[in-house]
Amino acid sequence: MLNVENIHAGYGAIIALRGVSLHVEAGELVGLVGANGAGKSTLMATIAGVLRPTRGEITFEGQSLLGLSPEEILRRGIALVPEGRRIFPSLTVGENLRLGATIRRDQKGVERDIEEMCTRFPILGKRFHQAGGTLSGGEQQQLAIARALMSRPRLLMMDEPSLGLSPILVDEVFAMIVQLRASGVTVLLVEQNVERTLDIADRVYLLNTGRVECEGVPEQLRKQVDIVGAYLGDVRGREVSG
């Protein structure tokens, strides 16, 4: 479904990706783990069209995504839940959801989906007319995911959805991801929480300083836990700041 081949990208003189290749097949839940600065978010931004790669090729369902704007890539069926949630703080929850469906023309279907999101994430229904900026971190995360789903993406990319959340909310977010995948959405998940990602993913890539260090099914990666430990330290005990 998604094919990333030998992607190089960076910010000015800083090179963040040095020849990353990965693929995601339809229906898969693929995890992308690695330490801070490994290039995970850069890869996401590059696939979403926010950042132009200097080299390499990205194809989605057989068609190249290179040179397309973010708004065009979303129309091809890839939605991003970005790092830090980035909901629109001065817009109401309802408006945030409505904008998520910008590319859709089926007014009725959009309204139905908004209702569905409010059932799936009851807090969004409760805070429907409240400004997004007044929501707590966990609520904002739910809103960010719901907003991305409103475009009915075929591939959902999530960048650290558990970042800055309390342990209970982290559980909820991971349960939600499993549920999403069960409902047929293909997911590319970036996480620092390696253990949890290994628990739910079909395949996992370990990124380190802009390169794919290793990839495989979770069992395979668990066996290489020394490598994981060496590069990531004790990830589970990591304190996160929002």
Partner 1 sequence: MNVLHDVLQFIINALSLGGLYALMALGLVIVYGILRLVNFAYGELVMVAGYTLLMLGAGPIPWLIVAVISIGMAVLTSLLLERVAFRPVRQASATTMLITSFAVSALLQNMAILFISPRAKAVTTPSFFTENFQVGDLLISKGNLASLVVSLVLLGLLTLFLRRTLLGIALRAAADDFVMTRLVGIRANQVIATAFAISGFLAGVVALFWIGRLGSVGPFVGSTPVLVAFVAAVVGGMESLTGAVIGGYLLGALTVGLQLMLPQSLLDYRQAFVFAIVLLVLLFRPQGLVRGTATAERV
* Interacting residue ranges for partner 1, rule: CB under 8 A: 48, 50, 69-71, 74-75, 79-80, 82, 86, 88-91, 95, 98-100, 102-103, 133-134, 137, 147, 151, 164, 242
- Start-to-end CA distance of the chain, whole Å, equals 33
Phi-psi region of 188 (alpha: psi -120 to 50; beta: other; left: phi over 0): beta
Among positive and negative, which fits the CA dihedral 234, 242, 197, 188? negative
- Tokens 């620092």 belong to 192
CA 45 to chain centre: 10
Q: Give the residue with the Cβ less far from partner 1, 6 or 69.
A: 69
Shortest gap between Cβ of 234 and partner 1 (angstroms)?
A: 25
> Minimum distance from CB of 129 to partner 1 (Å)?
12
Cα→Cα distances 130→26, 101, 201, Å:
36, 19, 34
Q: How far is the CB of 51 from partner 1 (least distance, A)?
A: 10
In the complex, what is the shortest distance from the CB of residue 200 to partner 1, in angstroms, rounded to a whole number?
24
149 vs 201 by CB, closer to partner 1: 149
Contact 40, 34 (CB under 8 A): yes
Q: How far is the CB of 209 from partner 1 (least distance, A)?
A: 25
3-state SS, residue 179: helix
Closer by beta carbon to partner 1, 129 or else 167:
129
8 A C-beta contact, residue 89 and residue 132: yes
> Minimum Å distance from CB 217 to partner 1?
31
Nearer to partner 1 by Cβ, of 54 and 220: the residue is 54
Nearer to partner 1, 6 or 102 (CB): 102
Nearer to partner 1, 140 or 208 (CB): 140
- Residue whose entry in the numeric block shows the structure tokens 């929002």: 242
Q: What is the DSSP letter of 110?
A: H
